[in-house]
Amino acid sequence: MTISLPDTLRLEKIDGCLSLYHVDRPQAFINVNFSSPAMQYRRQQAVRQQAVVKAAGKLFLLDNEPPRLIDGTAGLGVDAFLLASAGWHVLMIEQSPVMHALLADGLKRAQQESQTSGDALFTATISRLSLSPCGDSRAALASVDPVSVIYLDPMFPARKKTAQVKKERWLLQQLHDEDAEGVGLLAVAKQRAKKVVVKRPVSAEPLDSVQPSSMLRGKTSRFDIYVGNLTAI
């Protein structure tokens, strides 16, 4: 797969991890590292108290299959990792070739590390993560087998009043058409899941202006919850 980048961005190996950075801010690179101290800290805390895990709800089966969830906008894989830590079998979908390459590199390294880490919980978590081939998120969702939950986290519109944008956010802004990323995803997701969870800024309009059945609010974001069109478990 050919990956094209804006002239100002670079995709290179840094300390063994495929990383993305801006030529003007080479120290502010991002990558996917599931075994980083930050990721392990979040996993080892009360993972079921994490907002995204609470929004996904209880683990339940669909047609007697393991509890399966699709992250339709996987990004850097943070939420997918937390959900897998909670017991979900998570399929990550990412349509950006750059982000997909970062995810594929991070997952491959994590799979290799899990074989020698001696951490049974980390090994189990990584075994529950998988990555779909890179492609349009809507088409990918439309083609998957039905699942219990689909999770969507379209890129938030830029907060103009924010004094300092986090490096992840700043770099992702260089890659994504923020206004268009989530358009049409909700309708497709509702056709393929019993439940759809959408992460939004706390004061933003619902995705595609569709009112949720319920919501879980946090300080800066909320999780809009929709009943999918699959009615039977």
CA atoms within a 13 Å half-sphere pointing along the CA-CB vector of 200: 23
153 is in an annotated binding site: yes
Cβ-Cβ contacts under 8 Å for 184 (sequence gap 6 or more): 138, 208
Beta bridge partners of 197: 151, 225
Residue of 167, 147, 144, 169 whose CA lies nearest to 159: 169
CB atoms within 10 A of CB 190: 19
DSSP string covering 22-84:
ETTEEEEEE---TTSHHHHHHHHS-GGGSHHHHHH-S---STT---EEEETT-TTSHHHHHHH
d(C-alpha 108, C-alpha 229), whole Å: 34
Binding residues for S-adenosyl-L-methionine: 153
Question: Which residues contribute to the annotated binding site?
Answer: 153
